[in-house]
Amino acid sequence: MRWYRLRGWKILGENVWAGGNELDLIVRRGRTLRFVEVKEKRSPRFGDPLEMVTAEKRRRLRRAAEAWLGARPELARLAVGFDVIAVREGRVQRVSQAF
């Protein structure tokens, strides 16, 4: 995603399947690695994008991240976190360390 590139993050993967689940975006900057879930709502009539990241969705994302990292032991010492990008009517909100 462009938002991360503009801020110096390297994109390691987009729409990656691991552990039976999809990771929307995997980014790295220095010693920090983030798994990013991107949610977009074109209209507020259908709820807020952040509401779509349920406890079950978080569980699946963690499982996918563990599987992806398990195949890359050289990244084991990085600080890992999960961000959520909410896109509302074209506006981007990043929730860093969302869970």
Which range of residues forms the domain containing residue 38? 2-95
The pLDDT assigned to 46 comes to 72
List the structure tokens of 44.
């507020």
Pairing state of beta strands 10-18 and 79-88? unpaired
Q: Which residues of 65-83 are buried (b: 16+ CB within 10 A; e: fewer)?
A: bebbbeeeeeeeeeeeebb
The CATH number of the domain holding residue 16 is 3.40.1350.10
Question: Residue 71 and residue 47: Cα distance in Å, rounded?
Answer: 36
pLDDT band at 43 (very low <50, low <70, confident <90, very high): low
Q: What domain count does the chain have? A: 1
Give pTM, 2 decimals.
0.88
**Measured between alpha carbons, how far is residue 20 from residues 7, 15, 60, 65, 66 in Å?**
30, 12, 8, 11, 11
Over residues 24-46, mean pLDDT: 90
Mean pLDDT of the chain: 91
